[in-house]
Chain A
Amino acid sequence: SAVISQKPSRDICQRGTSLTIQCQVDSQVTMMFWYRQQPGQSLTLIATANQGSEATYESGFVIDKFPISRPNLTFSTLTVSNMSPEDSSIYLCSVRGQGWTEAFFGQGTRLTVV
């Protein structure tokens, strides 16, 4: 298993600004992912954070809006850029290790854009 810490746990931001969310894992992991959970809805994969290279984005998500970094095997950041109220969601970091079956999730970052 893995212990995943996300910062901040919640934030209220002004529209037009950007917020960077951090994800720290207590052990090296092979794969890191970022998900979005809109209010009252399920989780949707934003992108796979690749160590040392550009993230791989899912359909409907672009790098300019959600830039992602992964400088090493234990840390990643997701930035929500030029925010609008429609970006109000919970953003979740998920990890999966080599040989693991299940994926583990952080507690999420609850973002409200006003």
Chain B
Amino acid sequence: GESVGLHLPTLSVQEGDNSIINCAYSNSASDYFIWYKQESGKGPQFIIDIRSNMDKRQGQRVTVLLNKTVKHLSLQIAATQPGDSAVYFCAENPGGTSYGKLTFGQGTILTVHP
């Protein structure tokens, strides 16, 4: 079936560096993508989203890039801080009659070293 996957299951960076977390998706009909951050013992927390009619969207210290040609999504975190350490998931919304449902990628563990 359709799935969302990640290239790198773990990522370690130094405080202050920029982090890039990647995600590949396979459902070309997906029209909406979200990045979530999940800290230990908590539910996923919304970070940033992007619609399929956009290539780039920026938030506070975060940028999401969408490349529909190769079905690739990335999350860039600028000046990474220890508080950014968490598991990051990309998720896609298939759209249409599946509106509201999310298909999650496998997750990337980000560790930020002081």
Which residues of A does B touch, CB under 8 Å?
4, 30-31, 33, 41-45, 48, 59, 92, 94, 96, 101-108, 110
Q: Does B20 contact A (CB under 8 A)?
A: no
| B interface residues, tally (CB under 8 Å) | 21
Asked if A33 and B100 make an inter-chain contact with CB atoms under 8 angstroms apart, the answer reads yes
By beta carbon, the residue of chain B nearest A58 is: B101
Q: Closest residue of chain B to A107, judged by CB?
A: B43
Q: Indicate if the CB atoms of B43 and A31 lie closer than 8 Å.
A: no
Given A107-B42, A108-B43: A45 touches B105 (CB 8 Å cut-off): no
User: In the complex, how many angstroms separate the beta carbon of B55 from the nearest chain A beta carbon?
Assistant: 17
Q: Which residues of chain B have a CB within 8 Å of any CB of chain A?
A: 1, 32, 34, 36, 41-46, 49, 89, 91, 100-107
Q: Which residues on the A side are within 8 Å of B107 (C-beta)?
A: 41-42
Residue of B nearest to A56 (CB): B101
Q: Which among B1, B34, B103 is the interface contact of A102 at CB below 8 angstroms? A: B34
Contact check, B104 vs A43: say whether CB atoms are below 8 A apart: yes
